[in-house]
Amino acid sequence: MQKRDKMPRLWIQKTGLKKDVFSNQLGIPPKQKIPMSLLNRIIAAKPGDMVKNPSKIGKKSIKVTPLLKKRAILVRNLKRISEARKR
């Protein structure tokens, strides 16, 4: 068995993500948390569909694009990682 190289400690910071782009796309202020229910609806929808926002913050209806869906998946995964670290 080969040993895996350790991942760099701050690998997500080195990816060059654009800050607050996803929250701006949803119409949610950058300081507020994005609800998991909205993320799950975006991920479950097909590109081109309109999704109704179940929360009271942000846009009421959002058109799902392939890029929006990718960003939603990334945000959901990062939320899960941060929740797991808090335990």
* pLDDT, tens digit (0-9, with 9 covering 90-100), for 28-51: 998 899 999 999 999 999 999 999
Handedness of CA 60, 44, 87, 85 (dihedral sign): negative
Assessment of whether the complete model's pTM goes beyond 0.85: no
**Which of 7 and 33 is assigned the larger pLDDT?**
33
Is-contact 71 21, C-beta < 8 A?
A: yes
